[in-house]
Structure 1
Amino acid sequence: MNNLRNLNWSIISSWIVLAIIGLVAIYSATQGPVSEFLPDYIQNNFAKQLFFVALAVVLVLLFQFFTPRTYMQLSYLFYGVALLLVILTLFFGTEINGAKSWIRIGGFNLQASELMKIATILATAQYLTSRRDISAENIRYALIAVSMILVPTIFIFLQNDTGTAMVFLALIPVMLFWSGLPYGVSVYIVSPAIILYLTVFDWKFGAIATILIAFLIFMLQKRVWLTITSFITGIITVVGVNVALTDILQPHQIARITAFTNPAFDPTGAGWNVIQAKTAIGSGGLLGKGFLEGTQTQLKFLPAQWTDFISCVIGEEFGFVGLGLLVITFLFLFLKLLRMAGNQQHPFAQLVTVSVTAVFFIHFVVNIGSA
């Protein structure tokens, strides 16, 4: 009972508010007038979400009786089982919306990558916190930790689930930085992703980023070899991206990348989703059109409005005020989680809390950013 009394009720309360908002939005996206355009398995999303909310409550209560040591002892086993499920999904999974991310176990479809997120955080946190001597001169432990994250990332990427793979990659700087890796080494490890992203917009941005990052690493670490390695890595990244864009990728793949940076480039094709999302948010105005009254939502102009573009449903039907309250609630939750992490005495519990918060934050940014 002491574990239950020690629950952080401000975190629990904000989670309940977010769960209710999510249920209301999913109901509107699947059960309103739009339901006549949707197949039964989409309409069932509301009932599924209601079930998962109830399941989450049960799991929260159950996990209060486990100590950090229990999670540490089981972390590698959990990682191995989850990785096996991810690999099996790649070969025997069901393809949904172009991604082979689901595997059928009995009468239930399991998205193994979601279990893999938790398993990766637990196993990597256990590895890093059991080795506190990470330094700029000895980054072997850091590279092993990065490999523990990259292995499932590769298999998930091969499932054509790029979004989930990006979440795993984003864990790398968070976990390394919080585990005590020097700033310069942390910047070096994540720099290729930053340079790659900027080079997609323009190779000049990537080149400038390469120079600035190398300079930053030298100022932080004062290691010539690390600075030179960073500069060479940046050049290779810029050249590689340019070669891919000009000589390797197919025209339709280049069109999707271009539409990502400029949706108006292909408004009826690759840019359609972003344009419809912006239209929905804009049409909601300050206070919104009202529950079940959004035209973009109820006439099914929004793609995947019950999942990827759910924030647009809230923006259209509850307006800037409703979406703003959603953002504030999320930010309140993140701040409370980070404060809780800072108050943890156990390094493992601290790193796990920060990493889980990072995953939630990444999903928040992606979903709100889609609007």
Structure 2
Amino acid sequence: MNDIRDISWSLVLFWLGLTSIGLIGIYSATQGPVAQFLPEFIQNNFFKQLVWIGISICILVGIQFLSPRFFQNFSYLLYGFGLFLMVLTLLFGQEVNGAKSWLQVGPVNLQISEFMKVATILAVANYLTSRRNISAENLRYALIAVLLILIPTVLVILQNDMGTAVVFMALIPVMLFWSGLPYGVSLFIISPAIIGYLSIIQWYWGLIATVVLTLAIFIIQRRTWLTFASFVCGVLMVIGVQVALFQVLQPHQRARIAAFTNPSFDPQGAGWNVIQAKTAIGSGGIYGKGFLEGTQTQRRFLPEQWTDFIFCVVGEEFGFIGASLVVLLFLGMVLRMLNAAGSHKHPFAQLVIVGVTTILFIHFFINVGSATGLLPVIGLPLPFVSYGGSAFLANTLMLAICVNLDTYKRQFSIYR
């Protein structure tokens, strides 16, 4: 192991700061006056989180004693083993909140898809590192990399966990772009997400975005086939979103989307989550109501306040200052990780760090966006802050790998 001074202590401190805020929020959401409204197993979440943090600290330290070549050499093996566990989960897993994502491993239930994110990043990074001749004319290698991401994505969708599927899909444009995919092709890959988001608001906004993005892709790439494909895919996305909204999605899923565009349409039903979340954050003001003093939190108006809406707990009890601290810590972590990726000489390490950064940022973006009403409520935890053993453990594992790669960057740069 390198000298202790070589360790990226800034990442460790960001992790420690977010974890500490999370513990405070979980305690308030489960142990304060609100405890009288909660079943005992929910009240125990704070103490269970302490155990997961203890385990994660051991992993964070232990990973630093591994050679960085370990993650590259065993990436495909870990990926295959992860897929095996995903299939087992699909066949024999337990259903929680409508998603069959949990597998009994000894005395605990683990959400295997959380750990599959780690294996997928390592496998895709290893593959793209050995195939760095991606271009607009030859997308064979890019398509294989996309397939490596789509396989676990499909398994997650079959488990009825659309939120996690979105996170997997976010890896595609970012990792391909960082590996050398041209700007126009990268824009083509992410354009369906932009068009789909705007089509949910209004179908004609999706068509406008289709035209604008198609023109941008043509100007950047100057490829007729790519321009045509962009326009066709955009139109199909607009049509697909409308069909999904009215023909495919379940009633509760359509209600969530309707609540996003207009929370007041069903204030006692689907719009309840958004209204209560925004009320909690808004009522916190600048300094907040004080620890254990949040009315929305302590009177149990906030849904899933120890997981999906824990940002609202922080915003209500610690105000704009507390919420801003969470945002600044996350942004600080993301920028530090991007700096580590940019300064690393080995492409595998770069892609792994960028992939992990993408996963953490997407979780942060969707969670905070859902809590503030800027995005539909999808149900993703806030990394290192929300309660959840599998998510906390997997996120810490990803961060530990990034710390390892950054710590050993001098040695790893000479590996082939």
TM category (shorter chain) comes to over 0.9
TM-score by length of 2: 0.86
Cα distance per residue 1:278-318 (max 9 Å; x no partner): 11111111111111111111111100000000010001111
Post-superposition Cα deviations, 1:132-188, rounded to whole Å, max 9, x if no partner, equal 111111011111111111111111112121111111111111111111111111111
CA distance in 2, matches of 1:255, 1:302: 18
Q: 2:42 maps to which residue?
A: 42
- Show the counterpart of 2:296: 296
1:91-106 mapped onto 2 (5 Å cutoff): 91-106=91-106
Q: Would you say the 8 A contact 1:3–1:65 is kept in 2?
A: no
Query: Over aligned residues, Cα RMSD in angstroms?
Result: 1.5
The CA distance in 1 between the partners of 2:347 and 2:212, in whole Å, is 33
Which one has more relative contact order, counting CA pairs under 8 Å at least 6 apart?
2
CA contact (8 A) 2:263 2:272 kept: yes
Give the residue type in structure 1 aligned to 2:198.
L
Displacement after TM superposition at 1:91 (Å): 2.0
* Amino acid corresponding to residue 240 of structure 1 in structure 2: G
Distance 1:298 1:257, change over 3 A: same
Structure 1 stretch displaced more, 196-205 or 297-306 = 196-205
Paired letter, 1:58: C
Query: What does the per-residue CA deviation read over 1:329-358, in whole Å, with 9 as the maximum and x for residues that have no partner?
Result: 221111111111111111101110111111
1:361 is the counterpart of 2:361: yes
Distance 2:77 2:3 in 1: 26
Displacement of 1:232: 1.1
Are 2:7 and 1:7 aligned? yes
Which residue does the alignment assign to 1:222? 222
Write the distance in 2 (CA, Å) between the matches of 1:10 and 1:178.
Answer: 24
Q: Quick one: distance in 1 between partners of 2:132 and 2:142? A: 11
Gaps of 5+ in 2: 372-416
**Could you tell me how far apart the structure 2 residues matched to 1:75 and 1:248 are?**
36
Q: Answer with 167-176 or 233-242: which moved more.
A: 233-242
Residue 250 of structure 1 deviates from its aligned partner by 5.6
Shift of 1:98: 1.6
Contact 2:196–2:241 (CA<8 Å) still a contact in 1?
Answer: yes
Amino acid at match of 2:345: Q
Using structure 1 for the length normalisation, give the TM-score.
0.96
CA displacement at 1:251 relative to structure 2: 5.2
Cα distance in 2, alignment partners of residues 246 and 367 from structure 1:
26
* 1:303-314 pair list within 5 angstroms: 303-314=303-314
Q: Secondary structure at the match of 2:136?
A: coil
Q: Which residue of 1 aligns with 2:350?
A: 350
Q: Aligned equivalents of 2:249 and 2:48: distance in 1?
A: 38
Equivalent residue for 1:263?
A: 263
**Structure 1 residues 118, 270: CA separation in 2 closer, same or farther (over 3 Å shift)?**
same
Work out the number of aligned pairs and report it.
371
Give the residue type in structure 1 aligned to 2:307: T
C-alpha distance in 1, partners of 2:319/2:310?
13
Which whole-Å deviations, capped at 9, do the CAs of 1:3-41 have from their partners, x for residues lacking one?
Answer: 533111122112111111111111111111111211222
Change (3 A) 1:339 1:247: closer
Deviation track 1:261-290 (CA, whole Å, cap 9, x = no partner) reads 221221111111111001111111111111
Distance of aligned partners of 1:293 and 1:106 in 2 relative to their CA distance in 1, 3 Å threshold: same
Instruction: Tell me how far 1:190 sits from its aligned partner.
Output: 2.0
Cα deviation, residue 247, structure 1: 4.4
| Identical aligned residues as a percent | 63
1:131 match: 131
SS of equivalent to 1:264: helix
Q: Which residue of 1 aligns with 2:147?
A: 147
Quote the Cα distance in structure 2 between the aligned partners of 1:9 and 1:246.
50
Q: Flag the 1:251–1:355 CA change in 2: closer, same or farther, 3 A.
A: closer
> CA–CA distance in 2 between the matches of 1:245 and 1:96?
24
- How far apart are 1:242 and its partner, in Å? 2.2
Q: In the superposition, relative to structure 1, how do residues 102 and 249 fare at CA in structure 2: closer, same or farther (>3 Å)?
A: closer
Partner of 2:204: 204
Whether the 8 Å CA contact 1:4–1:64 is kept in 2: the answer is no
User: Structure 1: which 5+ residue stretches go unaligned?
Assistant: none
